[in-house]
């Protein structure tokens, strides 16, 4: 049994909130830079160059890449041989978010109630997903999610007879309807199988995978490539102004499901697609 004090968790979450919001991940940066060479639209190339420049300014000045610094989605993989002392894990994560957003000059975008809509003024609570795993460490991933893209996401309970063609049609339809709204070029996270909430969670987790890494299952990896081609044929382009680069990647995760169902969730994420992780 290894003991970990909550102060370590607070410090880690605080740091990751800032890192995720200031530093564009290198896989995305490369994809944007490559996109400049391949984009067929002048305006599209201009937009991609501005996004690269924007990311450089943000990293240099330690300011947010985008003003929508998101609702903090935090994934905790807790080793079963860890004992947390000094307080509750949930409180520690929220304290880390509170400090990270306050000290980091990040926007507080959370309201206390969906109807009353009063700002909590510290960006808490975070949305926390816990997973108990083997070992004596804690892996913390902070993935702040902006709502321009979150609002364009969708889930559909398909029938088994809809099959792979039904899944492809739903993904394409979701990205098509989103059009310019989610700040393309986007990353498309797809969760297929499980139950309704499992598919949604898989689609969110899919966004944590770098855009240059395909699913290890070759069948799924081919489907990811095929969907990316199709999406880029929609013509939406950088900032939605028309062009070839609409999706930087399609990341899919699959899970066993029920004899009667084929759940599909599509979580659209903007070209910033923030996530930062650390192991304690």
Partner 1 sequence: MDKTISINAPLRNDMVRQLKSGDHVEINGVVYAVRDAAHKRLIEMLDKGEELPFDIKDQIIYYVGPCPARPGHVIGSAGPTTSGRMDVYTPRLIELGLAGMIGKGLRSDEVVEAMRKFGAVYFGAVGGAGALLSKCIVSEEIAAFPELGPEALRKLVVRNFPAVVIIDSEGRDLYSSGRRRFQHVFAQNRKM
- Judged by CB under 8 A, does residue 239 bind partner 1? yes
Q: Binding marks (x or -) toward partner 1, 4..33, rule CB under 8 A?
A: ------------------------------
Q: Return the number of the residue (67 or 88) whose C-beta is nearest partner 1.
A: 67
Q: Which two tokens stand for residue 190?
A: 């797809």
Handedness of CA 239, 245, 248, 249 (dihedral sign): positive
DSSP the chain: -EEEEHHHHHHHHHHHHHHHHHS--HHHHHHHHHHHHH---HHHHHHHHHHHHHHHHHHHHT--SSS---EEEEEEEEETTEEEESS-HHHHHHHHHHHHHHHTT-----BSSTTT--B-SS-PPPEEEEEEESSS-EEEEEEEE-HHHHTT-EEEEE-GGGHHHHHHHHHHHHHHHHTTTT-SSEEEEEEEEE-HHHHHHHHHHHTTS-TT---SSHHHHHHHHHHHHHHHTT---GGGSS-S-SEEEEEEEEEEE-TT-EEEEEEEE-SS---EEEE-
54 binds partner 1 (CB under 8 A): yes
Closest CA to 209 of 219, 193, 194, 220: 220
Q: Does 163 bind partner 1 (CB under 8 A)?
A: no
Regarding 108 and contact with partner 1 (CB under 8 A), the answer is yes
Interacting residue with partner 1 among 7, 43, 195, 221 (CB under 8 A): 43
Q: Is position 144 an interface residue for partner 1 (rule: CB under 8 A)? A: no
Q: Which is nearer to partner 1, 61 or 216 (CB)?
A: 61
* 154 touches partner 1 by CB under 8 A: no
Q: CA nearest 273: which of 176, 200, 189? A: 189
Contact range with partner 1 by CB under 8 A, out of 7-15, 84-92, 115-123, 252-260: 115-123
The least CB distance from residue 157 to partner 1, in Å, is 10
Binding flag, residue 263, partner 1 (CB under 8 A): no
Tell whether residue 58 is a contact of partner 1 (CB under 8 A).
Answer: yes
The answer to whether residue 130 forms part of the interface with partner 1 (CB under 8 A) is no
Smallest distance, Å, CB 47 to partner 1? 5
The tokens describing 133, both together, are 């795993």
Q: Is 235 in the site for partner 1 (CB under 8 A)?
A: yes
Q: How far apart are CB 14 and partner 1 at their closest, in Å?
A: 16
Residues 191-220 that bind partner 1 (CB under 8 A): none
Among 109, 124, 153, 251, binds partner 1 (CB under 8 A): 109
Q: Which of these segments, 91-99, 125-133, 196-204, 267-275, binds partner 1 (CB under 8 A)?
A: 267-275
Residues that bind partner 1 (CB under 8 A): 40-43, 46-47, 50-51, 53-55, 57-58, 61-69, 105-109, 117, 119, 121, 147-148, 151, 156, 169, 172-173, 175-177, 179-181, 183, 230-231, 233-237, 239-244, 270-272
């Amino acid at each position: 049994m290894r003991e970990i004090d909550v102060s370590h968790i607070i410090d880690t979450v605080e740091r990751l909130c800032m890192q995720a919001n200031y530093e564009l991940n290198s896989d995305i940066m490369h994809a944007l830079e490559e996109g400049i060479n391949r984009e067929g639209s002048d305006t599209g190339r201009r937009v991609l160059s501005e996004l690269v420049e924007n990311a450089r300014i943000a990293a240099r000045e330690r300011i947010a890449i985008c003003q929508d610094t998101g609702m903090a989605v935090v994934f905790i993989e807790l080793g079963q041989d860890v004992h947390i002392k000094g307080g509750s894990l949930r409180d520690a994560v929220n304290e880390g978010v509170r400090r990270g957003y306050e000290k980091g000059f990040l926007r507080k975008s959370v309201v206390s109630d969906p109807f009353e809509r009063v700002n909590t003024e510290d960006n808490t609570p975070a949305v926390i997903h816990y997973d108990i795993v083997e070992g004596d460490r804690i892996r913390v991933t902070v993935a702040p999610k902006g709502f321009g893209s979150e609002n364009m996401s969708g889930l559909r309970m398909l029938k088994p007879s809809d099959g792979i063609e039904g899944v492809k049609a739903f993904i394409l339809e979701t990205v098509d309807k989103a059009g310019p709204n989610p700040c393309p070029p986007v990353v498309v996270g797809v969760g297929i199988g499980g139950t309704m909430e499992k598919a949604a969670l898989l689609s969110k987790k899919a966004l944590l995978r770098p855009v240059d890494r395909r699913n290890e299952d070759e069948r799924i990896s081919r489907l990811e490539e095929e969907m990316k081609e199709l999406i880029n044929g929609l013509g939406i382009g950088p900032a939605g102004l028309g062009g070839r680069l609409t999706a930087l990647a399609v990341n899919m995760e699959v899970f066993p499901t029920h004899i009667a169902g084929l759940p599909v969730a599509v979580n659209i994420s903007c070209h910033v697609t923030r996530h930062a992780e650390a192991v304690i």
